[in-house]
Structure formats: structure tokens, C-alpha cells
Amino acid sequence: MTQLPTSTDRKLGLVIDLDTCVGCHACVISCKGWNTENYGAPLSDQSAYGGNPSGTFLNRVHSYEVQPEEGAAQLIHFPKSCLHCEDAPCVTVCPTGASYKRVEDGIVLVNESDCIGCGLCAWACPYGARELDAAEGVMKKCTLCVDRIYNENLPEEDREPACVRTCPAGARHFGDFADPDSHVSKLTAERGGMDLMPEQGTKPVNKYLPPRPKDKMEEIEILAPLLTPIAVEPKGFMAWLDKTLEKV
């Protein structure tokens, strides 16, 4: 069985803002594209255009309708991928040592040449974040784009996970949680970032920012001046256009 490091030099991970995510799946597509063309075996698809398509994805987005104790129901889009846990059960259960956690940055990876596809790591992961690639017979998972974030051939602004770089809503943030002054650490402290299923004791590095209520009167009062019509009666060209359209 693989041993976990007692500590890591850094804790690289993601902050995902559930208040901002719009469920567009851009992160899913960019992740699939980058990881199919670069690190490890390609992410295969089976019967992609058939009646029962399936495939391997390192990041998925699930949508739920949530009814809070007070206020209106909300549609929450929930991205899910490997959380790079400090106490990762997927690592300690691996019989070949293929799954391991890096000391230098805390990223959990799979050495595919040693993976026998037994599926024990997927069974041990409480988050369902591992997938067995049917074509290659090896376990796949989020790598935080390790081949991208350290690639000095890329412009500095591109040295972050593909999902973060692609997100049009700015709902995904990448950084070092071991640094209390990092953007992700400050964001987690300011917005009350949460662990996913803390009762599992895995101590996930990735954090989720909770959604904020969308039906507060304060927001309506702030927007009210901007919703006031500029003119009650159209004048000039707009008046002529209005009359012309009435005749059509």
C-alpha cells in the first residue's frame, strides 16, 4: 500500500464559487480537451454517437434545485473533480503504489504504468472523483493540469488548470492553500469556504464557496434606480419609429 507524506511543501488546489457557477460546462470541455491531448493516456469515449454513449471525464458538473429554509428555491450548479485530499484514502488503498500524493505541492496523481485497473481507489474515494478509462484500463483523475502549471513554454497567465483558465464566469480559482496570503486562502476566509463532506475525515484541499440567497430585497433596492425608464414618452427619432411600427 502507498504511504501518504506526513506534510507537503505546498497545498495546491481549487476554490469553486457555487454562487457564480452558471453550469455552462466550459470547464468540463476544456478539461477533456487538455487531458486528452497531453498528460497520460487519452480520455476515451465509447459509442459517442450511439444510443448509449459513455466516456471518461476528470471534471463533471451536476445541477440541483435546492430549497433553503427561507426564501425561494435556487438552481445550484455543482462542479465535481478530485479534491486532492490531505488524507487521501485513494492513495493508501492502492495495492501497486500507482496512486500517490506529491510532497512538493500536494497534488494526487496516478502513475498509469503501475495502475492495474483494479478500481480500489474509486471504491475508496467518497466523492466519486475517479473514473476507469474503458479503452486504456487505467484509472483517471484530475491532475490540476500538472503538465500545464509548471510549463515554462506557456505564457504565465496560462500556467493554471485548463478549467480555471476557461471559466467564463470566474467561478474557479487556483492557488496555494499553504500560503495564508494567497488569493485562494483569502477568498476561503472571506466567503466561508467549505470542505465537501467533512465527516469523511479526508481533509480535502479544494474548497467550495456557498451560494448566496438570490431573492433579497436589498439587491432589488440597489438595482431599482437602474431600472427606471429613461423617458416615459419617446421623442424625436424614437417617436417617429414608434408611430411607424404601429402602422405595420
pLDDT at 233: 74
| 139 contacts 42 by C-beta, under 8 angstroms | no
Residue at 7 is within a domain: no
Residue 235 in any domain: the answer is no
Q: Which three cell numbers stand for residue 166?
A: 476557461
| pLDDT tens by residue, 45-78 | 999 899 999 999 999 999 999 887 777 788 999 9
pLDDT in tens, 119-162: 999 999 999 999 999 999 999 999 999 999 999 999 999 999 99
Domain contains 44: yes
**Which pLDDT does position 224 carry in this prediction?**
61
| Most confident range, picked from 76-85, 218-227, 233-242 | 76-85
Nearest to 79, CA basis, from 25, 141, 143, 160: 25
Residue 6 forms part of a structural domain: no
Domain that holds residue 50: 12-222
Residue 210: how many CA atoms within 13 Å on its side-chain side? 11
In a domain, 197, yes or no: yes
> pLDDT averaged over the chain?
91
Does residue 240 belong to any structural domain of this protein?
no
Residue 198's CATH number = 3.30.70.20
Q: What's the rounded Cα separation, in Å, for the pair 134 and 143?
A: 19
Q: How many domains does the chain have?
A: 1
Please report the sign of the dihedral spanned by the C-alpha atoms of residue 174, residue 176, residue 177, residue 180: negative
- pLDDT interval class at 100 (50, 70, 90): very high
Q: Give me the amino acid identity at 216.
A: K
Domain membership flag for residue 248? no
| Nearest alpha-carbon partner for 170 in 18, 13, 11 | 18
Break the chain down into helix, strand, coil percent, rounded to 5: 25, 15, 55
d(CA 240, CA 47): 58
